[in-house]
Structure formats: structure tokens, C-alpha cells
Structure 1
Amino acid sequence: MAVASLIHQYQIFCYSNPKPHFHSSIKTRTTQWCLNTIPNSSTAHKIARFSFICCTSSSPPPDTASQTPESCVNSGLSLFSKGRVREALIQFDTALSLNPNTMEAQAALYNKACCHAYRGEGKLAAECLRTALKDYNLKFGTILNDPDLASFRALPEFKELQEEARLGGEDIGDSFRRDLKLISEVQAPFRGIRRFFYIAFAAAAGISTFFTLPRLLRAIQGGEGAPDLLETAGNGAVNIGGIVILVALFLWDNKKEEEQLAQISRDETLSRLPLRLSTNRVVELVQLRDTARPVILAGKRETVFMAMQKAERFRTELLRRGVLLIPVIWGEVEAAPVEKKGFGGSAKAAAALPSIGDDFEKRAQSITTKSKLQAEIRFKAEAVSPAEWERWIKDQQKSEGVTPGEDVYIILRLDGRVRRSGKGMPDWQQIIQELPAMDNLLSKLEK
């Protein structure tokens, strides 16, 4: 569950059911302060102190005249932490009806979306998040980072919401698209320059064509002093041909940019997928950057099991290259028993989730923490929230022109991007020849 905190932009903390916890899910650049919390710059993370207003069946309802949006949000969080989701929804709706400010409205909508996700109401959750993104400056990265919304991210409604956010527009806002464009400009720094020259040369050819047309008419009419017809027609043809080519190049560049933005969006989703290490610690894939080369094996149980057995023969060499196997079984999410509806993994996974997010990313920069994480990485990891993994793999298959649901493998680079993928299961000997050892110079350049 999440509650907005008032910062220079904003910060969101989350509660998980059944045991509440809160964690930072987006990065901030300024001092953070929360509802009912006084800023304290001496601490790295400010923990909110909530004034809860609890309602029980034995006590009379609170006086609506004394309610504020803040108190309703806090009351909703308290009710949700006790499993009273329907009553929590009423509190969040009440907060939205009391003329809240931007941060209070954002908190109410986001928490309301979490409640709907818990109840399996994907469409209602998507509508709340869409409103928060459009009108109340919610960052799409918050939705990607929050483990409490893991079940929502596995639904088709999330894919639709993500696609809308990637395209931008009045219905959902342009913040996510702007972030994607910044990454795109880093990966393709000369695209803007190329577009400038496309437009400049097309404009020059258009102006030249504008002055050529009267000369062409005079050449067709003939008479004394008329320009040469073939020469004038040739000039006009060159200008028109140049405009057509330049417009085609401009449109092609735009198409490539949209494909790149879609790939960056998929890479961002991939980086937030959770997995459980051999030590039972739950981390996000982004936390393994520079320390492991994940190899995702997706397919039928028999096929994946056979590939894992073959990999055991080359275990030592694969470990020298930082390979971490992540098996994903098609349809396993339907076959697995459901421990709870919504909000991601089991209670054991939830207990490990506070390490996910901005707090961990800061600690992960230290050599000590990276060394500890590297020591925990073994040969195999378990995919947490298989539905999220399966949805991402099938989206990647569509982008590569592969029929969704086929057996595939995906090899990631040390920096977290997709190195290559293929149908079936990998040839481990070929992978050993292809991947350099972790202490090799090429591996250091890959980070």
C-alpha cells in the first residue's frame, strides 16, 4: 500500500498485506517530508508518523465535518493494514471528495489503485493510476518499482497503460515519454542533428521548387527568352525527388525512434522483475547489473529442465562468465497455488522486498554491498511473480517476430540489456566461447 509524502516533487511509501511495511519506490533529489511529518535533514530517510483514524463496528463513525483529506488517507491505510480493504476504499474516496491538494489527491488515487489491485480489479486500478499520472504528477517509474503492484503489472490493463504512457498525450501525460526520450538521446545522440538537416534540406528544396515552377511554366509556353525546358524540368525533378527522399528519411528515423522507445520501455520493465537468489533473498534484476549475466530459459517444463541439466555439465565455466540461470515455465502461474490475491509474492518474499528500490540502489554503489550480493549469486535463481516474467517474455517475442509461447532463451549483458535471444534452448558450449570471463577486459567494457 502506498501513501504520498510531500517532497520537492513527491515520495511514495507502501504497505503490504498482511504485515504493513513501507519503502521508497522512486528516487528523489531533495529533502523528503511526509504527511504529518516534520523534515529532518540529519537522517537519510524520513519515516512518516501517521495519525490513524480507525473505525470499528462498535464505535460511531467519525464526524465528516472534522475529516480532512490527510486524515482520510491515513485512516484508509490503517484499515487496509487490518485487511479491511472495502472500508479503506471508502476512506480514499472520501479524501478525494474533500477538495484535496495535489499530493493528497495523488496519495488517495495511488492507494485506491493498490486496493483495486488487491481485489483483482485491474480496470479500476488502471483508471486510478491513469488519473494520477495525468492530473497529479505521478511518475510512471513508481508503478514499475512498487512490488505491491506486481499482480497488476501482470495484467493486460498494465500493458495498455504502459503503452499509453510510452506514446504520451493528453489522456495520460508526457512525463514517462520524456524520460524515455532522454534515454533514447543518450543511445542515439545524432538523431536530433540528422532530423535538423532533413528539415533544413527539405525546406531548401521546397523553396527552390517554389521558384522553379514559374520558370517551368514559361519554358512550357516557349517564346523569346524562355528558359530551357529540359534543364528547368530537371531542376524541378531533382528538388521534388530530394524532398521525397528527405521526408522518407525523416519518417524512417521517427519509426526507429518509436521502436527504440518501445525497447527501452521493455528494458525498464525487465530491470524491475523480481527474482529469488539461492539465499532466499528477493532482488530486482537491476540489482544484478555488473555482477551477473542472467540467462532466461522460457518454455515447457520438460524442455527447461533438460536445458538446466545440460548446463550443469559446464557449471564451472559458466560461473566464471557470471551466468545466472533463470527458468520460467509457461503456464506455471496458473498451476501454482495462489497464496493471496494481489500485491505480488508471498509473505516470505514480502519480507525481503524492502531491499528493493532507491534505498538499496544507493547502498548498492558501495563495494561492500556489491561484494555481498555477488557472494549470494549462485548458478540458478527463481523467478518471483512468474506472470510478470511470462508477460515480458511474450512481449519480447512479439517484438522479435517470434510466436508467443514458443521455447526461447534470452541472454542479458552485464549492463542489463538484451545481448541476444533465440528459439529453443541455448548451446552451452557456444555460450562459453561467446562470453568472456568476468575478469576479462571485454567484460569490464560491457559494464
Structure 2
Amino acid sequence: MLPLANPNAVVQARRPSLRACRPAFTASRVAPRLPGPLLVTRAAKSTPSKSLYEPSSAKDAIETATRVFKEQNDVVEATRLYRLSLTMKPNDDEACAALYNLGCALTKQKQYGEAAECIVKAINEYRLKLSVALKDDDLKQLRERREWLEALTQVKGGLSREVKVDLRTEAKAPFRLPRMILFGGLLLSAGVGLLIISTRLIKSLQGGPGAPELTESLTNFGINSAAVAVLSFLLYRDISSKQQAVKITTREELLGRLQIDLGNDRVLPLLKFRGQVRPVVVAGSRAFVEKAIKEAEGNYLNLRDRAVSVIPVIFEGKGGAEVDPEDKLRALRKEFAKEGKGFSDEAKKEKEKQAEVKASRVKVMGGLVDADKKWRLEPYDLEEWKAWLLEQKEFAALPAKEPNCYLQVQLDGTVRSSGVGMPPWRRMVEDLPLREDIRTRLMDGVGPVELE
């Protein structure tokens, strides 16, 4: 939750003044009876009436909402009071606190879109520091969502999606921009020289006293014309390659916005897996997808050492969900440990591993932990995945009539290879370096490759 008076400061919760911070009220173990007039709403004949507290000011509404939120965990009532405070002519500090805390309450109710809008408005209109939202545990769920990524492009000082695309495009070809500047300057110089030489050539053709020598004028005209032609071609080539690279990067950014369902009500955009996982999207009929994954399991250990995970996208009706092999193994160990059939050491190691995973949560960017990097990542909102894949097939000039295809993505989100038919798992093992290999840091994501 956010302080009422100074939203960008962090103060102890026991300070009762309006200028106190997080929360702006005196905490008590038992919530006091809410003062003020009551608005009574009547339901059915035998249903007891429910009293709604009517605050006297925006300050009163925010403090009461914060108390209800923290002490009674009533996010619905807190949301109502925060909304009400915004209609009671709050000052800037009160409006900032109301908007921010409303975003926190909406996050608890999983209304991520509206929550992100509230945070953006508090930052852009009331000078809330972005660092406050980045550190608040109440917004942890929101920060994992795609809505938060969209919000970061809208806040003041944030990078728009177009700027991000340009930066990623330039990072893939860092010398292209200097070349374009160099060729552009030389082309401008050659163009000016050609204009001057053209006037001299005209005078040479006209003849008369003091006219330049015709042979010299023709030679200079030919040199400058050739320079203009060559430099124009080089500049046009770089401009065309940049335009194509921007299209490719835009497609990759759209891929990064597609979401993965990790279970337990956790949905993360694929962008969060960058630097941690090399996804391989396998799309097509159910029979094709399951066969492709079964073939991949023959190289399971080698692929996992290379941080490869499979994303199945099935272009037909849903069936029974396939269980991840790692989940199967963990479940089997737990079952054997319960029945006393051995595996006690294994169960102990599993508990230790889980403890390490929990301890490492704060160390992993974007909320991604080792347990999230499963062998099989389930797509969320399958229709979005299907739409992107159909557009990608057209963009990559893959046969439209062939429904079965694959797509391999590098750690930095670059699409490395794609094609129709069965993924070349053995070739991937041979070409992809190990996750911790120095070649991964130097070469991963250098660009697409063609697989035979």
C-alpha cells in the first residue's frame, strides 16, 4: 500500500499522522467500529441489511480503506472507498495515494488491466516514483503480467514499443547505423560534386574562351556519377535490410507478449523467459505434436542442458493435458516416500531443492524461478498463439497448406529457425551450446539460421 501524504517515502506503519506512510492510520489488532453516518441497503425480506461506511472526506475514505484492506482483508470494500475518495475533490497527495492503493486492491482481485491503468495515472499525473511500484509486494502479481509490460511503455520516461524494437534491431547489427551515416555523408558530398562537375561539363561543351577542358570534365563527371551510384546502392541496401530487420524484430516482440500458463493461477508472458529458456514451439495436429515431443524425449537430457523447453500448440479440440516429465518424476518420488518404498534420500533432496527454489525467488529477474522452466510449457490463450503462428507462417514463407510446423527461439528472443514437419532435435543438440557455455554468451541470438 502507498503512503497518503508523501507517496515516494517509506515510513513505519505505526505513525498515525496524515503525513505518515504505508499505511496512514494507527494499526490495532481489532478494527474499531467505523464512525460516521451509515448508508443502509436492504436486500430480500429476511436478508439482514448491510451497512456501507460513508466517509466525510477524501482523507477519511483513504485511511478507512487502508485499514479495511490491511486489517480486515476486505479488498472489495477497500476498492469502493478508494474509488469514492477520488470523487471527493482530493488534493494531489490524496489522489496519488488513492490511485496507487486502488491499483493494489484491484491486483488482489486479479483485475490487472485496470490496476495497471491506476498505477500509470499515479505516475504520470501525480509524480509517483516508478521505483515505489517496482518494490511493492502488493503489486508482485501485477509485475508478472503482460499488462505490466504494457504499462511500462506508457509511463513518463518509459520506452515505447517502437523504441524497444529499434533498439533490439540496432543491437543485432551494431555497425549498420554508423555505415548508414558514413554512406549518407559520402553520398551527399558526391552529389554536390556531381552538380558542380555538371555545370563545368556544360561550359566545356559550349566552348569559348576560358571554358574548362572537356576531357577533364568528362573524367570528373564519370567518377562522381559512379560514386553516387555505388553509394546510393550501399545506402539503399542498408536501409532495406533495416526495414526487414524491424519487421522481424516486431514479430519477435509480439511473440514475447504471448503468454505461458504455469499453473497455480500464474500466467507469464514469454518475454519473462528470455535469458533463461530456449523455447521450441511445436504446432499442428495433436498426433503430430505428441509424436514430436515423444521424439524429443529421446534427447531429453541433452536438450535440457541447453535450456530447451517445448511449447505445444495444438490446432484442434482439447484433450487430456499431458503431464510434464519432471512433474511425473517429482510426484513419483513423493509417492514412494509416503509409502516407505525407499527414495527417502531422494525425497529429502527434493525438499532441499524446493527450499533452494523458494530462496532464489528474489534473485531471479521477472519472478521466474527454476521450477518455472519446465520441459513442457503450456500456452495460455491458445487462440492468440494460433493467430501469431498463422501470421508467422505467411511471414516466413512457409507452405500454408502444411499445418505442422516448428519454431526455435534463442535465449534473447530471436527466432533462430523454423520449418514444416518434425523439429530436427538431433541437429539442435549439435548446434546449440550448453546453457553455461561461453559460446552462449557470445553467439546466442546472432540471427536466424537455415536448417537443412
TM-score under structure 2 length normalisation: 0.56
Alignment of 1:142-153 (within 5 A): 148=142
For 1:249 and 1:263, locate their aligned partners in 2 and report how far apart those are by CA, in whole Å. Answer: 21
Which residue in the other structure is 1:411 paired with?
Answer: 408
Shift in Å, 1:197: 0.4
**51, 56, 64: which one aligns with 1:58:** 51
Flag structure 1 segments of 5+ consecutive residues without an equivalent. Answer: 7-32, 41-47, 337-353
Q: Does 1:423 align with 2:420?
A: yes
For 1:178 and 1:356, locate their aligned partners in 2 and report how far apart those are by CA, in whole Å. Answer: 35
**In 2, are the aligned partners of 1:414 and 1:446 still within 8 Å (CA)?**
no
For 2:439 and 2:3, locate their aligned partners in 1 and report how far apart those are by CA, in whole Å. Answer: 43
Cα deviations by residue, 1:303-362 (Å, 9 ceiling, x for unpaired): 3223233334554554565543332334779999xxxxxxxxxxxxxxxxx989993426
**In 2, are the aligned partners of 1:413 and 1:419 still within 8 Å (CA)?**
yes
- Judged with a 3 Å threshold, the aligned counterparts in structure 2 of structure 1 residues 127 and 225 are, in CA distance, closer, same or farther, namely farther
Please tell me the residue identity of whatever aligns with 1:409: Y
**In 1, are the aligned partners of 2:58 and 2:94 still within 8 Å (CA)?**
no
- Judged with a 3 Å threshold, the aligned counterparts in structure 2 of structure 1 residues 202 and 93 are, in CA distance, closer, same or farther, namely farther
> Sequence identity of aligned pairs in percent?
22
Which residue in the other structure is 2:187 paired with?
Answer: 202
Shift in Å, 1:421: 1.9
For 2:89 and 2:284, locate their aligned partners in 1 and report how far apart those are by CA, in whole Å. Answer: 45
SS of 2:51's equivalent? Answer: coil
Shift in Å, 1:208: 1.4
SS of 2:364's equivalent? Answer: helix
Which residue in the other structure is 1:339 paired with?
Answer: none
**In 2, are the aligned partners of 1:51 and 1:71 still within 8 Å (CA)?**
yes
Which residue in the other structure is 1:234 paired with?
Answer: 222
- Judged with a 3 Å threshold, the aligned counterparts in structure 2 of structure 1 residues 442 and 400 are, in CA distance, closer, same or farther, namely same
Q: Does 1:259 align with 2:247?
A: yes
Shift in Å, 1:391: 5.7
For 2:300 and 2:170, locate their aligned partners in 1 and report how far apart those are by CA, in whole Å. Answer: 39
SS of 1:215's equivalent? Answer: helix
- Judged with a 3 Å threshold, the aligned counterparts in structure 2 of structure 1 residues 332 and 146 are, in CA distance, closer, same or farther, namely farther
**In 2, are the aligned partners of 1:205 and 1:242 still within 8 Å (CA)?**
no
Q: Does 1:327 align with 2:323?
A: no
For 1:201 and 1:76, locate their aligned partners in 2 and report how far apart those are by CA, in whole Å. Answer: 69
Which residue in the other structure is 2:207 paired with?
Answer: 222
SS of 1:189's equivalent? Answer: coil
Which residue in the other structure is 1:276 paired with?
Answer: 262
Structure with greater Cα Rg: 2
- Judged with a 3 Å threshold, the aligned counterparts in structure 2 of structure 1 residues 34 and 387 are, in CA distance, closer, same or farther, namely farther
Which residue in the other structure is 2:236 paired with?
Answer: 248
**In 2, are the aligned partners of 1:92 and 1:111 still within 8 Å (CA)?**
no
**In 2, are the aligned partners of 1:283 and 1:355 still within 8 Å (CA)?**
no
Q: Does 1:87 align with 2:80?
A: yes
Cα deviations by residue, 1:8-66 (Å, 9 ceiling, x for unpaired): xxxxxxxxxxxxxxxxxxxxxxxxx96673289xxxxxxx8334899985144212364
Please tell me the residue identity of whatever aligns with 1:421: S
**In 2, are the aligned partners of 1:325 and 1:380 still within 8 Å (CA)?**
yes
**281, 285, 289: which one aligns with 1:300:** 285
Shift in Å, 1:295: 2.4
SS of 1:58's equivalent? Answer: strand
- Judged with a 3 Å threshold, the aligned counterparts in structure 2 of structure 1 residues 198 and 441 are, in CA distance, closer, same or farther, namely closer
Which residue in the other structure is 2:330 paired with?
Answer: none
For 1:138 and 1:292, locate their aligned partners in 2 and report how far apart those are by CA, in whole Å. Answer: 32
**187, 190, 210: which one aligns with 2:172:** 187
For 1:246 and 1:444, locate their aligned partners in 2 and report how far apart those are by CA, in whole Å. Answer: 31
SS of 2:211's equivalent? Answer: coil
Which residue in the other structure is 1:359 paired with?
Answer: 362
Please tell me the residue identity of whatever aligns with 2:11: I
For 2:128 and 2:388, locate their aligned partners in 1 and report how far apart those are by CA, in whole Å. Answer: 26
Shift in Å, 1:201: 0.6
Flag structure 2 segments of 5+ consecutive residues without an equivalent. Answer: 14-20, 26-30, 40-49, 322-356, 445-452
Alignment of 1:16-35 (within 5 A): none
**In 2, are the aligned partners of 1:206 and 1:243 still within 8 Å (CA)?**
no
TM-score under structure 1 length normalisation: 0.56
- Judged with a 3 Å threshold, the aligned counterparts in structure 2 of structure 1 residues 250 and 34 are, in CA distance, closer, same or farther, namely same
**In 2, are the aligned partners of 1:198 and 1:250 still within 8 Å (CA)?**
no
Alignment of 1:123-134 (within 5 A): none
For 2:201 and 2:156, locate their aligned partners in 1 and report how far apart those are by CA, in whole Å. Answer: 49
- Judged with a 3 Å threshold, the aligned counterparts in structure 2 of structure 1 residues 102 and 355 are, in CA distance, closer, same or farther, namely farther
SS of 2:23's equivalent? Answer: coil
Alignment of 1:71-150 (within 5 A): 82-83=75-76, 87=80, 90-91=83-84, 94=87, 98-99=91-92, 107=100, 118=111, 148=142
For 2:239 and 2:433, locate their aligned partners in 1 and report how far apart those are by CA, in whole Å. Answer: 39
For 1:415 and 1:137, locate their aligned partners in 2 and report how far apart those are by CA, in whole Å. Answer: 31
**1, 10, 22: which one aligns with 1:49:** 22
| Higher RCO structure (Cα 8 Å, ≥6 apart) | 1
Cα deviations by residue, 1:195-237 (Å, 9 ceiling, x for unpaired): 2202321221233134234324423433233232644653563
For 1:260 and 1:297, locate their aligned partners in 2 and report how far apart those are by CA, in whole Å. Answer: 20
For 1:85 and 1:200, locate their aligned partners in 2 and report how far apart those are by CA, in whole Å. Answer: 62
- Judged with a 3 Å threshold, the aligned counterparts in structure 2 of structure 1 residues 152 and 103 are, in CA distance, closer, same or farther, namely same
Count of aligned pairs: 369
**In 1, are the aligned partners of 2:310 and 2:376 still within 8 Å (CA)?**
yes
Please tell me the residue identity of whatever aligns with 2:376: K
**In 2, are the aligned partners of 1:206 and 1:240 still within 8 Å (CA)?**
yes
